Amino acid sequence: MPVSSGRRRVRRALIALLADVVCVIVFATIGRRSHAEGLTVAGIAHTAWPFLAGAAVGWLLIGGWRRPFTVIPTGVAVWVGTVVGGMLLRKATSAGVSTSFVVVASLSTAVLLLGWRAAAALFRRG
């Protein structure tokens, strides 16, 4: 039984959303580990939530479900939402937002959120 195009679009969007969530969790986990913070589910969730919320805002603003695998515009919007939203929420909750952290978070999340989309595009071409 063939999968309808509507179901295929939903599946692709959910896969992309899950990939973004995994990337943000990986980012939070690596950050906690590199700073010798506990790698508990609660600790990782505490670190990841502002960035996950920012990613969700990026998804909503760009309509990420329309073109979930594209680097431009979807990946860039999700990445910018992740960094800007994450940092604003961290600042609002008195968490650290030092310049060095903003730079590292920006670069790390760019590699993760844009990187998987670029790899997917190369895979589809090849």
**For position 113, what pLDDT does the model report?**
98
Length of the chain, in residues: 126
Q: What is the pLDDT of residues 79-118, one digit of tens each?
A: 999 999 999 999 999 988 999 999 999 999 999 999 999 9
Q: Say what the pLDDT of residue 49 is.
A: 98
Supply the range of the domain harboring residue 14.
Answer: 5-125
| Total count of domains within the chain | 1
Q: What is the mean pLDDT of the chain?
A: 94
SS3 string, the chain, reads: CCCCHHHHHHHHHHHHHHHHHHHHHHHHHHHHHHCCCCCCHHHHHHHHHHHHHHHHHHHHHHCCCCCCCCHHHHHHHHHHHHHHHHHHHHHHCCCCCCHHHHHHHHHHHHHHHHHHHHHHHHHHHC
How large a percentage of the chain has pLDDT more than 90?
86
**Does 1 have pLDDT greater than 60?**
no
Residue 3 has pLDDT above 80, yes or no: no
